[in-house]
Amino acid sequence: LELQKKGHPSSLLKDLAKSENLAVTDLEFAQFLDSSDPLHTFRSEFHYPSVSDLDLGTSTSDCIYMCGQFLGLQPKSTRAMVVQEIDKWAKKGVRGHAHVADKPWVTIELTVKEASAQIVGALPVEVCVMNTLSVNLHVGMLAFYRPTPDRHKIMLEAKAFPSDHFAIQSQIQVHGYDADESMVIVAPRPGEETLRMEDIMQTIEEQGDTIALILFGGVHYYTGQVFDMAQITEAGHKKGCKVAFDLAHAVGNIPLHLHDWNVDFACWCTYKYLNSGPGGISGFFVHERHAHDYSFPRMEGWWGHDLRQRFRMDNVRSLLPGADGFQSSNPPVLMTMCLLASLELIGRTSIEELRAKSIFLTGYLELLLNVFYSKDDPKRKGPYAELVTPDDISQRGAQLSLKFSVPMRKVFDFMTERGVVVDLREPNVMRVAPVPIYNSFEDVHKFISLLGEAFSKLDE
Amino acid sequence: LELQKKGHPSSLLKDLAKSENLAVTDLEFAQFLDSSDPLHTFRSEFHYPSVSDLDLGTSTSDCIYMCGQFLGLQPKSTRAMVVQEIDKWAKKGVRGHAHVADKPWVTIELTVKEASAQIVGALPVEVCVMNTLSVNLHVGMLAFYRPTPDRHKIMLEAKAFPSDHFAIQSQIQVHGYDADESMVIVAPRPGEETLRMEDIMQTIEEQGDTIALILFGGVHYYTGQVFDMAQITEAGHKKGCKVAFDLAHAVGNIPLHLHDWNVDFACWCTYKYLNSGPGGISGFFVHERHAHDYSFPRMEGWWGHDLRQRFRMDNVRSLLPGADGFQSSNPPVLMTMCLLASLELIGRTSIEELRAKSIFLTGYLELLLNVFYSKDDPKRKGPYAELVTPDDISQRGAQLSLKFSVPMRKVFDFMTERGVVVDLREPNVMRVAPVPIYNSFEDVHKFISLLGEAFSKLDE
Ligand SMILES: Cc1ncc(COP(=O)(O)O)c(C=O)c1O
Ligand SMILES: Cc1ncc(COP(=O)(O)O)c(C=O)c1O
């Protein structure tokens, strides 16, 4: 499989099928793509549930799990790595903190630092794994949202994820401002679903002088749209705003260059494309240029202070440089291990390789949707599917958000009963994410077949 | 063993030894106490490390683990309960959230709610298990510390745990006040180690009008002193202050009545006397009278909102009543399971029973220290030990903080090499906590013998 990045994957896939004497819609073509995929073997490194595992039937064949945008699958190495720490606690008690050779807990956060930094395009000093995502939104805002009467606004996208919306709203209130006045929400144009970059830029241009903080999603959870973080950051900085991103749907999904983009802070959960399990630990980024600035207030706790000083217990401030200095508590060891297992696995490939496959895998899903269920195809009749996610590959990651001409819930139930795991998001989309590290082209092909069955059934 | 609560345990223990025709210092007396202890069998429900487990020698006999004030031992049931959720994730993927009969993750926090509430003397609506301790200090302060120019101070104890000190300091700074001016630190009198209640009361009386929040430890981590939370709360409220406690060293150690005491908020870690493992999840209490007040700003996230509303994704605020409404993130499932395993175990006895034993266990430690190593005994020579922790049982829990006439570090090293696990805290104490759920009177007896050996050695 030649993973070229030039051109839209649809046309490349069509060319490839032609050169193999196959139709793009043939199951054989999906199988051909899988056999040419250098990452195909990664699937066997995960616990990939069968249909019967999910209590959706008696079949022992694999389900169609395309729900990494909600919760990633479990690496097979996770369990042993967690159990190892449980057993360390059983055998060593408190001495697991400092009197063991392997992974002493007193510095456990360092085990996941470098790989996390690499995945988001950051220096190690810029990244720390700690807390959970919504908490880290507050950690970042408490440090970087310093409203004044002249500059008190926070700019965010419309239909931001509830946690982000509530976190922003409540931070504004904590500082005594009025959320209605201080939230600048950039919305799609009437009749459109996704944001136009020009509208984002215009908002920054027009209101930037009163915006204290731009806090955007990197990839929109509902539409799957990827925002141009480099450009938003640059435009925001020109106007004197701080610029931050919630990377929940971006990390492990698309390449990130937080350092080069000059982002002020960012945070992400790790249970989606980083496969760290339910309630997984979160990542936090703060740019190097803030790394040695200890002058601004932040949410402080002992763990953010120098290790030796920390146990000197004299309450003399000695914040660690960079992201580490934003820690509060000693970290949850088992959650850190869940992340480490996954990072080690991802470390055997790279975000670039995963992205290269992802472009084709999601492109293939789009192509088949268009071939079979396009609204615009004059020849076809019956239900159709529409893409909410942009067609432009630079504006999307693994996830496609779909709308149907028939009731979404009925399509979903039909497919779930047949072993498809995707999710619905209110009010109106099905989110489908073929995840390059464990999904195959054949998964996509099966998904499309079952969608066809659902449509036929609903069309009766 | 008659666990009477009247009288000092020392005299009761002496009477008991006499009636058994034993000396209080006899090993047989320790063994007699263990055989009369109805909680003695709980020890076998824990992984109690052997000396060789700790790499402190080849002996397979139990170490002397009296370090529950730092990290509690692991219940034997923990591992299976954690692994069960790991396996659920492996088999069910995202469907573990809502499509499983047993412990669906979408409400996983409810599995630990009632038992946690009971342990702190609260109604279920008043308690939620979430985040980690230092984070919850900030959650509480962001909601309840609302400084004004007239009332901007936070009162705390001297030598508060670093996280508490830093958290308070940084919250004051976040709100634009000067920490030096706004921190009211109640210190022991010159030459004394512990606080006098009258001095705490006097500070409230004198400065209460400008104190916005009293945030005290329930049990001081360094001295082991228990503060009279009921009285502090009442006095603070009379002056119009909010009153909160960090219960890290109190929960699972002494009986608490947060509801009856009218405490505004409280938080605690669960890895000490609640045995939930390194980086264990934290508990948060907010009094019922604030349960339905949604008017004040707080650190909001989606998980604090009504479950149905939460997934409606329309960003309409619908905070849950009580402590649940202070949640931000979906909780770390494995950490919740660690706590649940321990709460189930504790549920087979009660805090009252544990406390009854604890009074005698710690009283026995004190008695032997006095008999053998008292500074005030005119007949003895050689090194001595002094109690930093109050002698009054209403002012202490399981932990005794000790000072020695010989270098602390040398005593510690000598004892560690012989399989004793306790800890040192800078500048000058050894913390020793015989924990009633897994420690025995014989452990205390052995500890005393080894302390004697250490003293002899250092006296040479
Ligand atoms: C009294 C007290 N407060 C706060 C903490 C900090 O806890 P964490 O690291 O869980 O936030 C501790 C930890 O031992 C403590 O003893
Ligand atoms: C974009 C985004 N932000 C925030 C969250 C909230 O995450 P958590 O519950 O881990 O705080 C999510 C969860 O899916 C999310 O997708």
Rounded Cα distance, A186 and A192, in Å: 13
What is the nearest CA distance from A16 to chain B, expressed in angstroms? 34
Please identify among residues 25-54 of chain A the ones whose CB lies closer than 8 Å to any CB of chain B. Answer: 47, 49, 53-54
CB contact under 8 A, B301 and A137: yes
Q: Sort A198 into a burial class: Cβ within 10 Å, 0-12 / 13-18 / 19+.
A: exposed
Rounded Cα distance, B209 and B212, in Å: 8
Whether ligand 2 lies within 6 angstroms of the CB of A72 is answered as: no
Which chain B residue has its CA at the smallest distance from A148's CA? B176
Which chain A residue has its CA at the smallest distance from B268's CA? A329
Question: For residue A234, what pLDDT is reported?
Answer: 98
Question: For residue A380, what pLDDT is reported?
Answer: 82
Which of A91, A159, A335 is opposite residue B335, by nearest beta carbon? A335
CB contact under 8 A, B133 and A169: no
Whether ligand 2 lies within 6 angstroms of the CB of A134 is answered as: yes
Q: Which residues of chain B have pLDDT under 50?
A: 1-3
Q: What are B10-62's pLDDT values in tens digits? A: 999 999 999 999 999 999 999 999 999 999 999 999 999 999 999 999 999 99
Question: For residue A1, what pLDDT is reported?
Answer: 42
Probe target for ligand 1 pocket from B133, B221, B246, B249, with the most ligand atoms within 8 Å of CB = B133
Contact list, B332 vs chain A (CB under 8 Å): 132, 278-281, 332, 334-335
Question: For residue B142, what pLDDT is reported?
Answer: 97
CA-closest candidate to residue B435, choices B1, B25, B42, B26: B42
Whether ligand 2 lies within 6 angstroms of the CB of A132 is answered as: yes
Residue B376 corresponds to which tokens in the numbers above?
């005030």
Rounded Cα distance, A244 and A225, in Å: 17
Contact list, B317 vs chain A (CB under 8 Å): 166, 169
CB contact under 8 A, B93 and A71: yes
Upstream peptide bond of B427 is cis (omega within 30 degrees of 0) = yes
Q: Cβ–Cβ contacts within 10 Å for residue A376, how many?
A: 8
Contact list, A314 vs chain B (CB under 8 Å): 426-427
Whether ligand 2 lies within 6 angstroms of the CB of B299 is answered as: no
CA-closest candidate to residue B332, choices B284, B397, B279: B279
Please identify among residues 348-407 of chain A the ones whose CB lies closer than 8 Å to any CB of chain B. Answer: none
Q: Check CB contact of B173 with chain A, cutoff 8 Å.
A: yes
Please identify among residues 103-142 of chain B the ones whose CB lies closer than 8 Å to any CB of chain A. Answer: 105, 108, 131-135, 137-138, 142
Please identify among residues 294-313 of chain A the ones whose CB lies closer than 8 Å to any CB of chain B. Answer: 297-305, 310-313
**Atom 8 in ligand 2: residue holding the nearest Cα:** B329
Cα of B245 vs centre of ligand 1, distance in Å, is: 12
CB contact under 8 A, A160 and B315: yes
Residue A125 corresponds to which tokens in the numbers above?
């000093």
Please identify among residues 423-452 of chain B the ones whose CB lies closer than 8 Å to any CB of chain A. Answer: 423, 425-427
Cα of A66 vs centre of ligand 2, distance in Å, is: 18
- Mapped onto helix, strand or coil, the DSSP state of residue A459 is helix
The residue among A95, A335, A399 with the most chain B CBs within 10 A of its CB, best to mutate, is A95
Cα of B332 vs centre of ligand 2, distance in Å, is: 13
Q: Kindly give the pairing relationship between strand A242-246 and strand A423-425.
A: unpaired
Rounded Cα distance, B456 and B7, in Å: 33
Please name the residues in contact with A200: beta carbons below 8 A apart, sequence gap of 6 or more: A186, A227, A232, A235
pTM of the model as a whole:
0.97
Residue A38 corresponds to which tokens in the numbers above?
């250098």
Question: For residue B460, what pLDDT is reported?
Answer: 77
Whether ligand 1 lies within 6 angstroms of the CB of B248 is answered as: yes
Which of B49, B71, B330 is opposite residue A278, by nearest beta carbon? B330
Question: For residue B1, what pLDDT is reported?
Answer: 42
Q: Is the dihedral of CA B369, B374, B380, B381 positive or negative?
A: positive
**Atom 5 in ligand 1: residue holding the nearest Cα:** B163
- Mapped onto helix, strand or coil, the DSSP state of residue A376 is coil
Cα of B134 vs centre of ligand 1, distance in Å, is: 6
| Closest ligand to the CA of B249 | 1
Rounded Cα distance, A211 and A238, in Å: 12
**Atom 3 in ligand 2: residue holding the nearest Cα:** A161
**Atom 8 in ligand 1: residue holding the nearest Cα:** A329
Q: Which helix (H) or strand (E) holds A176?
A: none
What is the nearest CA distance from A268 to chain B, expressed in angstroms? 12
What is the nearest CA distance from B160 to chain A, expressed in angstroms? 8
Which of B53, B332, B334 is opposite residue A92, by nearest beta carbon? B53
Upstream peptide bond of B332 is cis (omega within 30 degrees of 0) = no
Written as one letter, the residue type at A367 is L
Q: Kindly give the pairing relationship between strand A211-217 and strand A242-246.
A: parallel
CB contact under 8 A, A89 and B278: yes
| Closest ligand to the CA of B283 | 1
Rounded Cα distance, A134 and A215, in Å: 13
H-assigned helices in B288-332: 307-310
* Per-residue DSSP letter, A72: P
| Closest ligand to the CA of B431 | 1
Probe target for ligand 2 pocket from A134, A159, A219, A253, with the most ligand atoms within 8 Å of CB = A134
Please name the residues in contact with B35: beta carbons below 8 A apart, sequence gap of 6 or more: none
CB contact under 8 A, A53 and B91: yes
Please identify among residues 176-235 of chain B the ones whose CB lies closer than 8 Å to any CB of chain A. Answer: 222
Written as one letter, the residue type at A193 is E
Q: Residue-wise pLDDT tens for chain A (460 aa)?
A: 444 556 789 999 999 999 999 999 999 999 999 999 999 999 999 999 999 999 999 999 999 999 999 999 999 999 999 999 999 999 999 999 999 999 999 999 999 999 999 999 999 999 999 999 999 999 999 999 999 999 999 999 999 999 999 999 999 999 999 999 999 999 999 999 999 999 999 999 999 999 999 999 999 999 999 999 999 999 999 999 999 999 999 999 999 999 999 999 999 999 999 999 999 999 999 999 999 999 999 999 999 999 988 888 788 899 999 999 999 999 999 999 999 999 999 999 999 999 999 999 999 999 999 999 999 888 888 899 999 999 999 999 999 999 999 999 999 999 999 999 999 998 889 999 999 999 999 999 999 999 999 999 998 7
CB contact under 8 A, A167 and B328: yes
Question: To 10 degrees, what angle do helices B27-35 and B351-373 make?
Answer: 170
Cα of A441 vs centre of ligand 2, distance in Å, is: 28
CB contact under 8 A, A299 and B135: yes
Contact list, A427 vs chain B (CB under 8 Å): 313-314
Q: How far apart are the first and last CA of chain A?
A: 39
Q: Cβ–Cβ contacts within 10 Å for residue A418, how many?
A: 18
CA B178 to chain centre: 30
Q: Which helix (H) or strand (E) holds A448?
A: helix A441-459
Whether ligand 2 lies within 6 angstroms of the CB of B416 is answered as: no
* Rg of chain B taking only CA atoms, in angstroms: 23
Whether ligand 2 lies within 6 angstroms of the CB of B329 is answered as: yes
Q: Check CB contact of A335 with chain B, cutoff 8 Å.
A: yes
CA-closest candidate to residue A392, choices A225, A199, A250: A225
Beta bridge partners of B246: B217, B267
Whether ligand 2 lies within 6 angstroms of the CB of B57 is answered as: no
